[in-house]
């Protein structure tokens, strides 16, 4: 299967008064066409920055992002906007904050079409927007409603319609369901899956919810402080969790079962600072298995089993 | 001695504005026993937080009205108490942990002062002694006591929630209401906080009402579970009863709509339709429009609460003897 996106040694640093913040640090991965990669991690691990960097909402510090073989990370931003923005779209986390409260539903969906297809006439734009509303399951009577009149699920459908209106091939979904109730969450996840099947879309699905990511992804990548620390097949990570951080992350999820008295690995402390990190394993300070080697040398992402990469010096000891 | 620390009977709370009446809580009854943890589960707008604010006497006074019912704490009706009397109850007998630790703390006061404030108000002691006890509380929730002079912005989200918990527990309340205490936190931090709350609850024998929308958190913390829908408790029972044998169609549908870590499903089950508008609730079963097991009867009358098995109740006609005949 061909790769739609190839990310090579991507870095995004921010300079802050206290030093350089390594938000995304040397990340390398591929996404196959028509597949979904799930990016998991806690707040501050760089998953949203990674998504925004692929979208060129941030300019990468270094590294390559190949879209169908063309490097979109280093090209001038105007050229990217003209030729590639409509191919790569994003669905944002908070449907309460990402929509202009002064625009009605139809205007909101027309906006990206107007911006990106200037040759279209007014009637065509409206026609296309109405088509999009139907596609994502928004009733025609809602055309003149404003975002504040709608519930979270419907607002997120507007966000999806806006992203899809440009016929993108690749969509970055940044926590699209975390602001929604469970029954609405199920509706949106099903909608995203149906659209993927119909249109052959490729998703990068950013979330902190492991059960959601397991449900929707083909591959999963776990991020910690800007780095990718484990990457494998979505089912595999639940069968053979190798990196100690992934183990802790999985065992921390409360299971909705009255009899599951699972042994929990409770991590001590909290995330260390991503500002000017020392050249060592970034998880070492919280890792129950850390040794002197972990504090001296930075582990690289390496292949432990077929299609299963881990960045840990002692990965072999943890595999089943 | 009565074994129930709190009993709520037929509580009805409305929010009244110029245009409409929002029926937020509709005739709920609930008992909390001593030392017990009860989970209150439901989606946004189910009336969980309104119930909690009603118990605390913190409902916005201009719009919210307790229409009927009683809330008895150790035999005394809290709704009959004056504002002045409630001050002695809040913080001392009942405490509340609020959802968002980022906004629950005062940014211009040190955390030591904020914990000491509760102690000074209820236990008449010197400022010095109160600060000393505040430091003990910090140690108890796992924060270095020397940091009592720091301000909230110097702490991370998980630590702020620990401070909020320290304030809530400072006067050793009999009942603790925790409103989504971990929703704003990351999973690994959530695990730390839940772990700590459980240890402290066991140690002090505090009764607790845990409000959440996360069924996993309920499974981990609670003895009993009450499921709320459109301002009503539609199902109540022990954790095992509600989780292993859910009876109400809404509870069943709720379980099927969460993606599971153990099972693989191609498509998620979806509850059709939306939560009914609380300013325009039907006179019949409020779940009827979304229910897959309904019969014509359901759209005519409001079901009553039926005991399905000892200690397990559901508000659904399905469990009445006449159901099969219809």
**pLDDT: which is higher, B261 or A98:** A98
Evaluate whether A10 touches A27 at the Cβ level (below 8 Å).
yes
- Find chain A residues with C-beta within 8 A of B255's C-beta: 256
Q: Is the pLDDT of residue A261 over 70?
A: no
> For residue B321, what is the DSSP state?
T
- Confidence (pLDDT) at B183: 81
Q: How far apart are CA B72 and CA B95, in angstroms?
A: 15
Predicted pLDDT of residue A256 = 84
- Return mean pLDDT, chain B: 90
Average pLDDT, stretch A258-287? 82
Nearest by CB to B261, from A187, A253, A267: name it: A253
Looking at residue B297, its pLDDT comes to 85
Residue A81 has pLDDT above 70, yes or no: yes
Asked if A210's CB is within 8 angstroms of B261's CB, the reply is: yes
For chain B, what's the residue count? Answer: 326
pLDDT in tens, A197-256: 999 999 999 998 888 899 999 999 999 999 999 999 998 998 899 999 999 998 888 888
Strand A88-91 relative to strand A70-71, pairing: unpaired
Contact residues for B40 (Cβ-Cβ < 8 A; gap 6+): B48, B51, B52, B209, B210, B211, B212, B226, B228
Per CB-CB distance under 8 Å, the chain A contacts of B100 are none
Residue A262: predicted pLDDT? 66
The percentage of residues in chain B with a pLDDT greater than 70, rounded to a whole number, is 99
Tell me what ipTM this predicted complex has: 0.80
Q: Which residues pair with B181 in a beta bridge?
A: none
Sheet of B76-77, strands arranged across: B21-33, B4-16, B64-73, B76-77
The least confident of A1-10, A146-155, A257-266 is: A257-266
Residue with the bigger pLDDT between B184 and A74: it is A74
For chain B, the C-alpha Rg in angstroms (whole number) is 21
DSSP state of A311: -
Q: Which of A175, A83, A6 is nearest to B186 (CA)?
A: A175
Percent of chain B with pLDDT over 90: 59
Q: Which residue has the tokens 């979505």?
A: A234
Q: How far is CA B146 from CA A149, A173, B32, B142, B287, in A?
A: 49, 43, 37, 12, 53
Strand, helix or coil for residue B14: strand
- pLDDT above 80: residue A1: no
Cα angle, residue A76 at apex, residues A74 and A79 outer, rounded to 5°: 120
A positions 70-109 inside 8 Å of B (CB): none
> In this model, does residue B318 exceed pLDDT 80?
yes
DSSP class of B182: T
- A236 to chain B, closest Cα gap in Å: 12
CB-based contact (8 Å) between A151 and chain B? yes
Kindly give the interhelix angle for A244-251 and B187-204, rounded to the nearest 10 degrees: 50
A275 inside 8 A of chain B by CB:
no
Q: Which of B101, B261, B278 to mutate to test the interface with A (most CBs of A within 10 A)?
A: B261
Two structure tokens written together for B167: 């304030």
- Residue B281 DSSP one-character state: -
Q: Which residue has the higher pLDDT, B184 or A37?
A: A37
Q: Is A182 on the interface with B (CB under 8 A)?
A: yes
Residue A113 has pLDDT above 60, yes or no: yes
Strand A3-16 and strand A19-32: pairing?
antiparallel
pLDDT surpasses 80 at B22: yes
Which band of pLDDT confidence, cut at 50, 70 and 90, is reported for residue A163? very high
E strand or H helix at B89: helix B83-89
Measured distance CA(A130)–CA(A110) in Å, rounded? 9
Taking the complete model, does pTM exceed 0.90, yes or no? no
Q: For the segment B201-257, what is each residue's pLDDT rounded down to a tens digit?
A: 999 899 999 999 889 899 999 999 999 999 999 999 999 999 999 999 999 999 888
Q: Distance between CA B234 and CA B250 in Å, rounded?
A: 8
Assess contact for A288 and A29: CB atoms under 8 A: no
Q: Taking Cα atoms as reference points, which of A7, A9, A5, A3 lies closest to residue A300?
A: A9
| pLDDT, greater one: B310 or B2 | B310
Chain B residues within 8 angstroms (CB to CB) of chain A: 43-44, 156, 158-159, 186-192, 194-195, 213-220, 239-240, 242-244, 253-255, 257-261, 264-265, 267-271, 274
Rounded Cα gap, residues A54 and A7, in angstroms: 9
So what's the pLDDT on residue A104?
A: 94
* CA-angle at B244, arms to B240 and B248, nearest 5°: 105
Instruction: Supply B148's token pair.
Output: 């009592």
A192-201, A270-279, B132-141: which range is least confident on average?
Answer: A270-279
pLDDT for A54 equals 93
Q: What is the pLDDT of residues B56-69, one digit of tens each?
A: 999 988 899 999 99
Give the pLDDT band (50/70/90) at residue A271.
confident
* Alpha carbon distance B160, B165 (integer Å): 9
Strands of B312-314's sheet in order across:
B94-97, B175-179, B207-212, B37-41, B224-229, B232-238, B312-314, B306-309
Identify whether the C-beta of residue A214 lies closer than 8 Å to the C-beta of residue B259. Answer: yes
Instruction: Give residue-wise pLDDT tens across range B268-295.
Output: 888 888 788 888 899 999 999 899 888 8
Which carries the bigger pLDDT value, residue B244 or residue B259?
B244
Q: How confident is the model at residue B176 (pLDDT cuts 50, 70, 90)?
A: very high
Mean pLDDT of B299-320: 91
Q: Determine the Cα angle at B234 with ends B233 and B240, to 5°.
A: 100
* B63 contacts B18 by C-beta, under 8 angstroms: no
Instruction: Please give the helix or strand (H or E) that residue B116 lies within, else none.
Output: helix B111-122
Tell if the CB–CB gap between B43 and A151 is shorter than 8 Å: no
Q: Under 8 Å CB-to-CB from A169, ≥6 apart: which residues?
A: A4, A33, A87, A88, A200, A201, A202
On the 0-12 / 13-18 / 19+ scale of CB atoms within 10 A, B301 is exposed
Question: What's the confidence (pLDDT) of residue B1?
Answer: 47
Determine, for residues B267 and A190 on separate chains, whether the beta-carbon distance falls below 8 Å: yes
Strands B64-73 and B4-16: antiparallel
Chain B residue with minimum CA distance to A214: B261
């Amino acid at each position: 299967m061909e790769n739609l996106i190839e990310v090579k040694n991507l870095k995004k640093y921010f300079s802050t008064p206290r030093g350089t913040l390594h938000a995304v640090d040397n990340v390398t991965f591929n996404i196959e066409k028509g597949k979904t990669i799930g990016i998991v991690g806690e707040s501050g691990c760089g998953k949203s920055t990674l998504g925004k960097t692929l979208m060129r909402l941030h300019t990468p510090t270094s590294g390559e992002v190949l879209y169908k073989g063309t490097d979109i990370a280093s090209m001038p931003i105007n050229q990217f906007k003209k030729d590639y923005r409509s191919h790569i779209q994003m669905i944002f986390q908070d449907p309460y904050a990402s929509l202009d409260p002064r625009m009605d539903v139809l205007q909101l969906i027309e906006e990206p079409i107007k911006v990106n297809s200037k040759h279209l006439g007014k009637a065509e734009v409206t026609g296309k927007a109405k088509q999009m509303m139907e596609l994502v399951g928004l009733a025609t009577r809602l055309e003149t409603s404003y975002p504040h009149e709608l519930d979270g699920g419907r607002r997120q459908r507007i966000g999806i319609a806006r992203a899809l209106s440009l016929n993108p091939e690749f969509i970055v979904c940044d926590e699209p369901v975390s602001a929604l109730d469970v029954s609405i969450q199920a509706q949106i996840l099903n909608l995203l899956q149906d659209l993927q099947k119909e249109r052959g879309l490729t998703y990068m699905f950013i979330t902190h919810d492991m059960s959601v990511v397991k449900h929707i992804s083909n591959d999963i990548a776990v991020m910690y402080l800007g780095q990718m620390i484990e990457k494998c097949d979505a089912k595999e990570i639940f069968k053979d969790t190798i990196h100690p951080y992934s183990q802790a992350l999985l065992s921390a999820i409360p299971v909705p079962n009255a009899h599951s008295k699972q042994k929990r690995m409770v991590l001590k402390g909290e995330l260390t600072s991503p500002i000017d990190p020392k050249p060592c394993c970034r998880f070492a300070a919280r890792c129950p298995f850390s040794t002197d080697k972990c504090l001296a040398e930075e582990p690289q992402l390496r292949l432990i089993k077929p299609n299963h990469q881990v960045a840990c010096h002692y990965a072999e000891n943890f595999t089943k | 001695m009565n074994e129930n620390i709190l009993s709520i009977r037929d509580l009805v709370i409305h929010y009244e504005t110029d245009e409409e009446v929002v029926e937020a809580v509709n005739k709920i009854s609930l008992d909390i026993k001593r030392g017990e943890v009860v989970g209150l589960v439901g989606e946004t707008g189910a009336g969980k937080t309104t119930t909690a604010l009603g118990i605390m006497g913190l409902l916005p006074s201009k719009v919210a009205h307790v229409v009927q019912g009683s809330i008895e704490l150790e035999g005394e009706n809290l709704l009959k108490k004056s504002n002045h009397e409630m001050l002695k109850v809040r913080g001392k007998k009942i405490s509340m942990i609020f959802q968002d630790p980022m906004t629950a703390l005062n940014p211009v006061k040190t955390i030591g002062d904020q914990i000491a404030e509760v102690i000074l108000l209820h236990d008449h002691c010197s400022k010095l002694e109160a600060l000393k006890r505040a430091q003990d509380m910090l140690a108890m929730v796992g924060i270095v006591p020397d940091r009592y002079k720091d301000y909230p912005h110097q702490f991370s989200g998980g630590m702020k929630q620990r401070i909020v918990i320290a304030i809530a527990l400072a006067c050793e309340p009999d009942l603790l209401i925790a409103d989504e205490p971990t929703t704003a936190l990351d999973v690994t931090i959530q695990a730390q906080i839940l772990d700590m709350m459980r240890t402290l609850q066991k140690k002090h024998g505090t009764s607790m009402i845990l409000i959440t929308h996360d069924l996993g958190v309920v499974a981990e913390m609670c003895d009993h579970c009450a499921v709320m829908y459109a301002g009503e408790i539609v199902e109540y029972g022990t954790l095992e009863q509600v989780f292993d044998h859910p009876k109400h169609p809404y509870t069943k549908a709720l379980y099927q709509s969460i993606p599971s870590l153990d099972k693989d499903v191609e498509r998620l089950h979806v509850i059709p339709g939306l939560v009914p508008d609380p300013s325009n609730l039907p006179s019949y079963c409020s779940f009827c429009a979304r229910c897959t097991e309904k019969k014509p009867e359901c759209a005519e009358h409001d079901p009553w609460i039926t005991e399905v098995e000892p200690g397990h109740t559901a508000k659904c006609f399905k469990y009445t003897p006449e159901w099969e005949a219809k």
